[in-house]
């Protein structure tokens, strides 16, 4: 085992780690989303302040990260289903992972303007 590494896994290990990390990030987003939505019943003014902070450019970059996490988690989940239920899945899992990464990159490039367009306009003016 090379020095400084915990595990010598390859694509399968990193896919496993990324799937868990994105799942946890999505869970925490949903937790915060439920809390801030519940805030409207406690104090509509506080809710309006929270929603106003969501419209700032730093939060737009966090939204882009959320889109990245959701897309990777969903695509990798479909790959995991294929590995589990398709007879050729285990043999082709490495190729399917790189296909997932390629599709994810294309979708993330496509999400740049819709998600970050207003942030760029806020930062640099219209």
The three-point CA angle 89-111-19 to 5° equals 35
> Which range marks the domain in which residue 46 is found?
10-122
Confidence (pLDDT) at 5: 62
Quick one: what percent of the chain has pLDDT higher than 70?
93
Q: Is residue 70 part of a domain?
A: yes
pLDDT in tens, 94-113: 999 999 999 999 999 999 99
Can you list the residues of the chain whose pLDDT is less than 50? none
Number of independent structural domains in the chain: 1
- Rounded CA-CA distance 39/75 in Å is 33
Q: What is the pTM of this model?
A: 0.85
Q: Is residue 83 part of a domain?
A: yes
Q: Is residue 4 part of a domain?
A: no
Residue 118 maps to which CATH number?
Answer: 1.20.1300.10
**Any alpha helices (H) in the chain, and if so which ranges?**
11-42, 44-54, 57-85, 89-124
Q: At 29, phi and psi to the nearest 5?
A: -60, -45
């Amino acid at each position: 085992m090379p020095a400084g590494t915990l595990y010598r896994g390859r694509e399968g290990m990193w896919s496993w780690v990324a799937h868990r990390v994105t799942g946890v990030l999505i869970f925490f987003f949903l937790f915060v989303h439920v809390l801030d939505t519940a805030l409207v019943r406690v104090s509509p003014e506080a809710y309006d302040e929270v929603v106003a902070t969501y419209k700032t450019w730093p939060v737009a970059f966090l939204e882009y990260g959320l889109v990245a996490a959701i897309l990777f988690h969903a695509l990798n989940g479909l790959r995991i289903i294929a590995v589990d239920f398709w007879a050729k899945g285990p043999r082709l899992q490495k190729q399917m992972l790189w296909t997932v990464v390629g599709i994810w990159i294309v979708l993330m490039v496509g999400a740049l303007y819709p998600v970050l367009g207003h942030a760029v306009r806020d930062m640099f003016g219209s």
